Amino acid sequence: MASLNHLFVVISIILSLLAFSSNAQLSPNFYAKTCPNLQTIVRTAMGQAIAKEARLGASILRLFFHDCFVNGCDGSILLDDTATFTGEKNAAPNKNTARGFEVIDTIKTNVEAACSATVSCADILALATRDGVVLLGGPSWTVPLGRRDARTASQSAANSQIPSPFSDLSTLTSMFAAKGLTARDLTVLSGAHTIGQAQCQFFRNRIYNETNIDATFAATRRATCPATGGDATLAPLDSLTPTRFDNGYYSDLVNRRGLLHSDQVLFNGGSQDALVRSYGVSGAAFFRDFAAAMVKLGNISPLTGTSGEIRKNCRLLN
């Protein structure tokens, strides 16, 4: 009888461990029964948003990156500041530059109408990011789901852990390594800059003071980014096809037309030069590696199981 009881205890422990491990793992089918139309809802809303403004695909992608680099992919970047809560939106890397929040709000409203209190804002952001890339001509990937939303945020972590447009290669490599991402991941994820725009204040020093820059390109950018003033004036990160997700970014780097300092350091006589050249030649290789790196990015420290919450409003704690 004692041996049977012992066996029952062992089986119970194994089952509980299995249950815990399944909670800790993300799955593409996480909402298959609880919100079967989720992916269609997200894709439809992203299609409508990008039809109005193509740049939103890049904006959402940047939100996801900035979210994942601060305490993992937990939707913390979506939280508004309140009288009693300080979020990440006003951290230096996000203030007056992070955008697309209203798109996530719209998707959340639509998802709540279909399946209330079921899908996290963190997962909505992950899906919207993938769909934005696809809608602009980029690769698709299967998004693992099951993240829960943070009940906390960290402005200080956002200030210290999100890479700067002024960073050199060694700093970028270290910051990515701190998140479990390799130098190869850094170079392929930087290819996200094949879409989107940057403000003059973030590339002024490059176009006026740096030497590893194509002279004609620098002159073109100076025409709209003065030496003083005009900080918020925009320029495309990819000079060739700024609203199409392709490998044009890498061709720019090879031709010394990287807009940001942190872009051009990937091709400046260093360790990533060969990889940049290879992506510039093969869009298929870039697409394959980018899709894999995005899954890896999305797996950074998700909240699962009973951690966090499922926010009703992505801007506010429940």
* 185 marked as part of a ligand binding site: no
* 229 marked as part of a ligand binding site: no
* 80 marked as part of a ligand binding site: no
User: 286 by DSSP, 3-state: which?
Assistant: helix
Rounded (10°) CA dihedral 139, 240, 162, 274:
80
Per-residue pLDDT reduced to its tens digit, 23-72: 358 999 999 999 999 999 999 999 999 999 999 999 999 999 999 999 99
Residues 133, 47: contact at Cβ < 8 Å?
no
Query: How many whole angstroms separate alpha carbon 82 and alpha carbon 102?
Result: 18
* 76 marked as part of a ligand binding site: yes
* Global model pTM greater than 0.75: yes
* 123 marked as part of a ligand binding site: no
* 238 marked as part of a ligand binding site: yes
**Which phi and psi angles does 92 have, rounded to 5°?**
-55, -40
Is 66 one of the catalytic residues? yes
Q: What is the pLDDT of residue 11?
A: 44
Per-residue pLDDT reduced to its tens digit, 231-264: 999 999 999 999 999 999 999 999 999 999 999 9
E strands in 196-275: 197-199, 234-236
- For 180, the token pair is 């479990």
Task: Considering the candidates 43, 62, 66, 89, report the single residue annotated as catalytic.
Answer: 66
Residues 38, 49: contact at Cβ < 8 Å?
no
Per-residue pLDDT reduced to its tens digit, 49-60: 999 999 999 999
User: 68 by DSSP, 3-state: which?
Assistant: helix
> Which of 76, 228, 243, 71 is closest to 151 using CA atoms?
76
Per-residue pLDDT reduced to its tens digit, 289-317: 999 999 999 999 999 999 999 999 999 99
Residues 191, 292: contact at Cβ < 8 Å?
no
